[in-house]
Amino acid sequence: MPEITAALLDLAEDACAREPIRVPGAIQPHGALFVIDPATGRILQAAIGDETLAHLRPPDVQRLPDLLPPEFGHLFNNLPERLKSDLPVYLGHAGISPYHHHVHAHRSGDAWIVEFEAAHNDDGADFSAIYPNIREFIDALEGFVTIEQCTALTARHVRRIAKLDRVMVYRFDKDWNGEVVAEDRNERLPSYLGLRFPASDLPPQARELYRRNRLRLIVDANYKPALLEPELNPLTGEPVDLGFATLRSVSPVHLQYMRNMGTMASMSISLVVDGRLWGLVSCHNSSPVNVPYHVRTACDFIGQILSMQIDARETTRMAERRNGLRKIQTRLLASMAAADHFILGLIENASDLMALTNATGVAVVAAGSCTLRGVTPAEDDVMRIVAWLARSGCDVLHTHHLADQMPQADSFKNEASGLLAISISQIHESFVLWFRREVIHTVEWGGEPRKQPVMVDGAPKLNPRASFNSWQETVRLTSEPWHRAEIDAAADLRTAIVDIVLRKAEELAVLSERLMRTNKELEAFSYSVSHDLRAPFRHIVGYAQLLKKYEGEKLSDRGLRYLATIIESALSAGTLVDDLLSFSQIGRTALTPVTVDMNVLVREVIASLTVEQDAHKVDWRIEELTSIRADPVMIRLVMQNLIENALKFSRQREPAVIEIGCRKSPEEIQFSVGDNGVGFDMAYVGKLFGVFQRLHRVEEFEGTGIGLANVKRIVDRHGGRIWAESAPGEGATFFFTLPASCAA
């Protein structure tokens, strides 16, 4: 049942939002309205509500000036020039004793709208009677600082000028709910000061009309509308837009709303700030009344002054707030610039980071880590929020009601009912998140805000509220709303972080280019040097061995020891030169991919390495290995180095256990070589694949420290990854991958 009611309410609200209030096809009856063809001056449509104007009801073809006494012809002089825009124009005051009318005109599409509005006999066209009140208002306004003071002053002076029972200043929030922020009244109507009214009281098309047309008057909530005849414009076949018409008839729902409120006449003055409807000066009277034209004009003038004052004060308040936040932002930028990584600069100044948005907690999620400061959800919950943010695709997201947008966010409402987040990476899920705790508060509405739909002619309609008594609602799962300056400060911080990242990336690109150039030069140098040194070392070994063979009997034992040391050192140096030459050649040699049977390759490598190690017992555990497409010489060198290391570092074990495995996934092919040897401390794993980097003394295990560097270079060139896992005394396992595209 609640689901059915909610569905009907949605349909009713949608129907209300689509009500054609700009084309009611009727006017209020205290005047007359004519739709005129600008090309011919012919009256196309007419609505006559004021019987004193019945004589203006046109025959089939007639021009409006022809229906008026000659003395009124001046009202229509230069009308084409005056109606170039859609804005209404006051043409003048027409009086046919004892009746008086104000004449207005405006353009509506391709037609002209001319209105005659009944006026008071003493309704003059100047402000002499009310100028002192306006002057007093302006003088008093100069001494006020806050918007609250200005709105209270406006309510007081508008009521004094208009002489109505109640004047309220009504302000909209971001969701278009309204709050009465100022009021001046007598005892004929109740006070609504401080009460809120739901956005549904003023549907979107009505708000847009208020924004464009600043003043609206309803003389009598019980009026009977005067219909426009014919109903459609005979030239276009469409209803005429009366959005700017002073006499435009209003929605029957709104008239019922007024009667339920006990208001029989109303006048509304729009407060438009920076092109947006900020609020209304809403004037009510308990009995029907036609506010004189010059009084309405004065009230409209006061409304425009208040709008400018609100704009100026909000701009000043925003500027002051921005300046305060900019100082905090400057400190954060300085900290980020001084830190090795900008993330560290943010974390080290968490108090400033929270102060930037007036948050109660902050989280920085980047590079796989999550740092929390202040009052925040648990890390697991923060990562859930990050995953939700990543799906949203927003660079900046803010809400003071997170539970309304993210599923199950109510579980951490005490830490994060409000969220402001910025994305700081287009590639990784990296965010800065600010949190605000739940603030439970009570809102007083002018009657229960939830309207109940009723069925009229088989369709759901909204029924206007019958009661406007104070109705309290306790609001939960919300935080203090984020201020526009705080949201902008967060967005500016994101821009600064992105700039820092880009600048760092540019610097790294320059360094990388230099490094590549230097590496190429070093490769060429190492190739040249190692190539040129091979022959001298071979000569040293060769001649030393000849010296020992032919002259050894003449040498003392000490001399023979020296000679053996020379031979051993020259052989080691020669091996090092050979390894260097191999290392440089790997970077210079083009890859020649062919299909490689890894099972055959591993058997051949094991056979070549164990010819002289029959005494060393090895328990080989080899899985079925997949075939690949790769450079056969280089892949052989990879397996040879890894298996040779496994044999070397497990030779003190009886038996040595060496495992060779293979795993496949949709993304890559993974090979592994593990042993039960001496292992190493993972704290030094970063040195493992560097040139000349050794984790064990050369006296314990022979080697030049180039083999694993060769392995990494080969794997990198094939587009794969390499890493190792180990613990001292528990062996080591080396893993390397090749892309799935390398599968045979």
The amino acid that residue 423 corresponds to is: S
* 44-47 contact pairs (CB < 8 A, 24+): 44/111, 44/233, 44/234, 44/235, 45/228, 45/229, 45/230, 45/233, 45/234, 45/240, 46/228, 46/229, 47/226, 47/227, 47/228, 47/229, 47/247
Find out whether 62 and 251 touch, Cβ atoms under 8 Å.
Answer: no
Find out whether 456 and 206 touch, Cβ atoms under 8 Å.
Answer: no
Angle of helix 557-588 relative to helix 707-717, nearest 10 degrees?
10
Task: Please give the residue that has the higher pLDDT: either 184 or 578.
Answer: 184
* CA 232/CA 226 separation, integer angstroms: 15
Q: Minimal CA–CA distance to 162: which of 292, 263, 306?
A: 292
* CA 676/CA 652 separation, integer angstroms: 10
Asked whether residue 622 carries a pLDDT value surpassing 60, the answer given is: yes
Q: What is the pLDDT of residues 120-165, one digit of tens each?
A: 755 554 567 788 888 899 888 888 888 999 999 999 999 999 999 9
pLDDT value of position 508: 61
Mean pLDDT for the stretch of residues 568-574: 63
Mean pLDDT for the stretch of residues 588-593: 69
pLDDT value of position 344: 84
Backbone dihedral angles phi then psi of residue 507, each to the nearest 5 degrees = -65, -40
Mean pLDDT for the stretch of residues 693-700: 46
Name the CATH topology of 590-742. Answer: Heat Shock Protein 90 (3.30.565)
pTM: 0.64
Q: What is the pLDDT of residues 350-373, one digit of tens each?
A: 899 999 999 999 999 987 789 999
Instruction: Kindly report which listed range (92-101, 361-370, 407-416, 692-701) carries the lowest average pLDDT score.
Output: 692-701
% pLDDT > 90, the chain: 38
pLDDT value of position 503: 67
* CA 290/CA 267 separation, integer angstroms: 9
DSSP annotation of 742 reads: G
* CA 115/CA 105 separation, integer angstroms: 6
Q: Minimal CA–CA distance to 533: which of 578, 582, 587?
A: 578
Which pair of structure tokens corresponds to residue 618? 């090895």
pLDDT value of position 362: 94
Mean per-residue pLDDT of the chain? 82
The secondary element (H helix, E strand) that includes residue 82 is helix 79-82
Asked whether residue 273 carries a pLDDT value surpassing 80, the answer given is: yes
Task: Please give the residue that has the higher pLDDT: either 506 or 538.
Answer: 538
Q: Indicate the pLDDT class of residue 300, thresholds 50, 70 and 90.
A: very high
Q: What is the pLDDT of residues 166-220, one digit of tens each?
A: 999 999 998 899 999 999 999 999 999 998 888 888 889 999 999 999 999 999 9
Asked whether residue 631 carries a pLDDT value surpassing 90, the answer given is: no
Q: Does domain 10-316 have CATH number 3.40.50.150?
A: no
% pLDDT > 70, the chain: 80
Q: Minimal CA–CA distance to 446: which of 415, 470, 427?
A: 470
Backbone dihedral angles phi then psi of residue 659, each to the nearest 5 degrees = -115, 135
Asked whether residue 304 carries a pLDDT value surpassing 90, the answer given is: yes
Instruction: Kindly report which listed range (59-63, 340-344, 457-461, 650-654) carries the lowest average pLDDT score.
Output: 457-461
pLDDT value of position 555: 78
Per domain, the residue ranges of the chain are 10-316, 590-742
pLDDT value of position 347: 86
Task: Please give the residue that has the higher pLDDT: either 586 or 514.
Answer: 514
Q: Minimal CA–CA distance to 435: which of 409, 465, 470?
A: 409
Find out whether 693 and 705 touch, Cβ atoms under 8 Å.
Answer: yes
Q: Indicate the pLDDT class of residue 383, thresholds 50, 70 and 90.
A: very high
Asked whether residue 375 carries a pLDDT value surpassing 90, the answer given is: yes
State the residue for tokens 């002289």: 612
Which pair of structure tokens corresponds to residue 154? 């406006």
Asked whether residue 110 carries a pLDDT value surpassing 50, the answer given is: yes
Radius of gyration, CA atoms only, the chain: 44
In this structure, is the dihedral angle defined by the CA atoms of residues 259, 260, 265 and 269, taken in order, positive or negative? negative
Asked whether residue 700 carries a pLDDT value surpassing 70, the answer given is: no
Q: Give 678: exposed, middle or buried? Use CB within 10 Å, 0-12, 13-18, 19+.
A: buried
pLDDT value of position 516: 65
Q: Indicate the pLDDT class of residue 1, thresholds 50, 70 and 90.
A: very low
